[in-house]
Structure 1
Amino acid sequence: MSKLPSATRDWLAGPGLVRLWEAARKRLEGNGVQATGSLRLTSVDSEERRDLSLVLGRLLTGATVTVHLDVLDERLRASAAGLGLREVLEELGQPITDRRAVRAGIAAQRERVWSSLASALASSPHAGQEWADRWYDQLRRHGVPRGVAPDTAIRTLQQAVHVLTVLLGPEGGGTRGRGELAATATGSAHGLDDGTWLARLVQRGIALAHRTEFPDNAAGRRALWRLVSVTPDEVSSTVLTYGLRPVGGGWREQALRQRADHHAEAHLTSRDLHDLALRLPAETVIHICENPRVVEAAADAACVRALVCTSGSAATVVLTLLDALAAAGCRFAYHGDFDWPGIALANRIIHRYGARPWRMGAEDYEHLAASTQAAGTPQLPLDGQPIDATWDPGLAPAMAALGVALHEELTLDLLVAELSGRT
């Protein structure tokens, strides 16, 4: 309930005093909520001059007015309302925020976070080690991620010290799963999942302790975990393949050849790829597609040529397989969707592996657009920002001109014919 009479409040809230209260509020919030110092109002109009004269108790005649806040505070307290400047401002608007105190509080909380980390390190086996000092300095420099509360930050940093003590301390050693390690440290098997702040903290410590660079990709981060005998989840993500016939007597190589003999697709995990010897005949051509339906169609048609599917944007396990095939001397041919994300993916794959475009030119697109239209196939609009195809400067203009998105499934007959060795 307002402490000001309604008539007084209405007058104080009038347009003639709006700039005064705005400037006074800004000054109080910045100087510790003290009615000290002065403020200057310029280009004062007649209405403002009249109301300011009444509030300040002196006749104002110019277009510039200097207001001493201590005098204004005394005038307000001596008035019928009996309220000081701060109380009047809060009657007319929101409570005053002491921004100086807020900043001091934030600084104190920040210092509490880093003092807690320093204390945790000092009582750990890593105390005084060069990498631990550098780790602490790096973390202070990077700061706490936006939105992480101080108590949460303290808990997470202490968990990081605990995990690093387990992995790098004198009792370390022995292979353990990342989920098991996370559950022990945080109570959740997902506490060290890739992308979490805790995982990044621990990985930075591992990198510094092993004098290696902090990786900027998923494959590098997996390798970092393996440096300390932590096995990430290497079974949930797979790469879809067909017709791979690696040379070798291991059971994995034999299993792939048997699946190829039976025209069956194969899903390979990261764990498979670690133990698989991918030796193939020199210059073997591996066809790469974007959509699993192509693999399905190739298997149904008993195709004879090898095929790897990115299943959309290529995940780490896909790139790991393609990297291994490239290292084995294989060559590649790539086909994907005729839409802008498909062109972006094709650019990456073709550039990374020197792949030849596989029915991915402007003529292929125009022919497919015409044939699907003649067949009465519904035409999907081509949305998004155009992307130039590095292998064919005419493709993006042709796609932009026709404005039709054509997915890989629409050209299955042609792709299967090539994979069957008929063309």
Structure 2
Amino acid sequence: MGELGPEWHRILKAAAAAMERESVTFSLSEPDTAERHLISGITGRHRQAAAKTIRLPLADLDSYIQLAFAKDLTALIRGELGIEIGAARRRRTERAAVIDRITAEASASPLSEHEWFHNWLTALRANGVLAELAGAGTDLRPLIEVLEALPAADEPLPVISERLLSDTKALASGRSRTMLLRALAAWRGVENPVDSESERELLEWAGIVSDDIASQVLVLNLPVEGGPVGEWMRAARGIPFRLTLQQLRREPVFVTAPLIHIVENPSIIRAAADALGAACPPLVCSEGVPSAALYRLLGTAPDARIRWRADFDWTGLRIVRRGLERFPNAEPWRMSTTDYRIGAPGIALRGNRTESPWDPGLSPVMEIRGTAVMEESLLPVLLSDMRNGDPASALQ
């Protein structure tokens, strides 16, 4: 501390912080004896030893310093602590100006006419991300270029990253990926993704595929025409077969089935193959949240009637609802309140409730009962539906 004793250190440091805040007072907590005596000398007022916090006007400290050392408080702080009063404030002002520039540049995008884009920018500013970008000397322009190019046509993430950002790994992880996912969530009007599955689904909603080989769909007896895939399907009659998005992208195909059944769990495919074999009607398995491969495959069957089902849990209801929304010819299959009640109660329901527009009474019943019903508990009736063709009960 130079010519000053150690009792000055915390006092000057607290004073410097107050001056940066443009406050007129500062406080010192838990002062020791030397600090208390110094403050008493500065103010001319005795301070009790029991005092836990002492507040002091900056003007009193400045007056004392000018009389005692013939310099003002700002100069003393600069000389003793090396702190330039106002530097932090200037940095904040400069950073705020950069944030304003980043926001203005982003607002020049055609996307700015959408409310979701404005909400996304507001959130980035509120949670400090724009401040981080300003501090790092970067901005939102590269990411906005990606958003402006969406939706993509089932383009692999490394490919779109290379094409738009000249870096195959630019969106693989880190802040850019998080910002992209939050922008897509705002765009779609859903919660921010919380796990890899919800991230994958959100990216694929925007036409971005994390890995076009990892994106797969499991099928049984699905008639497909076109290229090697069509030949494989004809040869695999009665045998479950897995198709990748990469295969579907490289070899143009179309599905010729007039009726397609969709299930969520591979165990249903296995049971159908064992029980019905080559006589099983075309069956497709989503294996949880549907992949881009599944959506692309179904997109080649615009005239097919699609029966869609999943587990009776909140995720399953979302899967079916999105399938019905995406494909005009889709309908629920064994997804009624009656079907839920005849199934064996399973694990407790988890996650956020969702509605069931095809049967408005289903969601409330599930919430009251509080348990999921897995597809496997309905296996006998599902096999019966597929074995017997197209009974009316199968459409419930």
Question: Normalising by structure 2, what TM-score?
Answer: 0.60
**Which position in structure 2 is the counterpart of 1:228?**
none
Distance in 1 of aligned mates of 2:332 and 2:274: 24
**Residue 360 of structure 1 pairs with residue 335 of structure 2:** yes
TM-aligned CA distance change 1:344 to 1:185, over 3 Å = closer
Distance in 2 of aligned mates of 1:5 and 1:252: 81
Shift of 1:337: 0.9
**Residue 153 of structure 1 pairs with residue 138 of structure 2:** yes
**Which position in structure 2 is the counterpart of 1:342?**
316
Q: Tell me, yes or no, if the aligned pair for 1:343 and 1:388 is still in contact at 8 Å.
A: yes
1:162-181 to 2 correspondence within 5 Å? 179=158
Shift of 1:252: 2.3
Distance in 1 of aligned mates of 2:325 and 2:339: 20
TM-aligned CA distance change 1:199 to 1:183, over 3 Å = farther
Identity percentage of aligned residues: 25
Distance in 2 of aligned mates of 1:273 and 1:288: 21
Deviations 1:192-228 (A, max 9, x none): 5599849999xxxxxxxxxxxxxx9646555xxxxxx
Q: Tell me, yes or no, if the aligned pair for 1:265 and 1:295 is still in contact at 8 Å.
A: no
TM-aligned CA distance change 1:256 to 1:267, over 3 Å = same
**Which position in structure 1 is the counterpart of 2:325?**
351
1:324 is aligned, of 293, 300, 303, to 300
2:61 is aligned, of 57, 61, 72, to 72
Distance in 1 of aligned mates of 2:308 and 2:144: 43
TM-aligned CA distance change 1:299 to 1:265, over 3 Å = farther
TM-aligned CA distance change 1:152 to 1:233, over 3 Å = farther
**Which position in structure 1 is the counterpart of 2:227?**
250
Shift of 1:336: 0.7
Shift of 1:289: 1.2
Matched length: 320
Deviations 1:54-90 (A, max 9, x none): 74459xxxxxxxx98455312145469x9947978xx
Q: Tell me, yes or no, if the aligned pair for 1:39 and 1:68 is still in contact at 8 Å.
A: yes
**Residue 386 of structure 1 pairs with residue 353 of structure 2:** yes
- What is the alpha-carbon root mean square deviation over aligned residues? 5.4
Deviations 1:214-258 (A, max 9, x none): xx9646555xxxxxxxx9953331122221113x46332232222
**Which position in structure 2 is the counterpart of 1:285?**
259
Distance in 1 of aligned mates of 2:368 and 2:307: 26
Shift of 1:111: 11
**Residue 190 of structure 1 pairs with residue 166 of structure 2:** no
The amino acid across from 1:255 in the alignment is W
The amino acid across from 1:153 in the alignment is T
Distance in 1 of aligned mates of 2:274 and 2:41: 92
Shift of 1:28: 0.7
Point out the structure with max Rg over C-alpha: 1
Q: Tell me, yes or no, if the aligned pair for 1:55 and 1:75 is still in contact at 8 Å.
A: yes
**Which position in structure 2 is the counterpart of 1:213?**
none
TM-aligned CA distance change 1:347 to 1:96, over 3 Å = farther
Shift of 1:9: 9.1
**Which position in structure 2 is the counterpart of 1:103?**
92
Shift of 1:295: 1.7
Q: Tell me, yes or no, if the aligned pair for 1:344 and 1:387 is still in contact at 8 Å.
A: yes
2:214 is aligned, of 236, 241, 253, to 236
Q: Tell me, yes or no, if the aligned pair for 1:76 and 1:85 is still in contact at 8 Å.
A: no
**Which position in structure 1 is the counterpart of 2:185?**
none
The amino acid across from 2:19 in the alignment is L
Distance in 1 of aligned mates of 2:174 and 2:6: 58
Shift of 1:182: 6.5
TM-aligned CA distance change 1:240 to 1:264, over 3 Å = closer
**Residue 408 of structure 1 pairs with residue 372 of structure 2:** no
1:41-60 to 2 correspondence within 5 Å? 55-56=42-43
**Tell me, which stretches of 5 or more residues in structure 1 are unaligned?**
14-20, 32-36, 42-50, 59-66, 118-133, 164-176, 202-215, 223-230, 373-378
**Tell me, which stretches of 5 or more residues in structure 2 are unaligned?**
28-37, 46-55, 113-117, 147-155, 181-201, 392-396
Shift of 1:331: 1.0
Q: Tell me, yes or no, if the aligned pair for 2:243 and 2:293 is still in contact at 8 Å.
A: no
Distance in 2 of aligned mates of 1:136 and 1:393: 38
2:248 is aligned, of 248, 272, 275, to 272
TM-aligned CA distance change 1:54 to 1:108, over 3 Å = same
Shift of 1:265: 2.3
TM-aligned CA distance change 1:346 to 1:300, over 3 Å = same
Deviations 1:4-31 (A, max 9, x none): 466x999x89xxxxxxx98x66651145
Distance in 2 of aligned mates of 1:410 and 1:68: 75
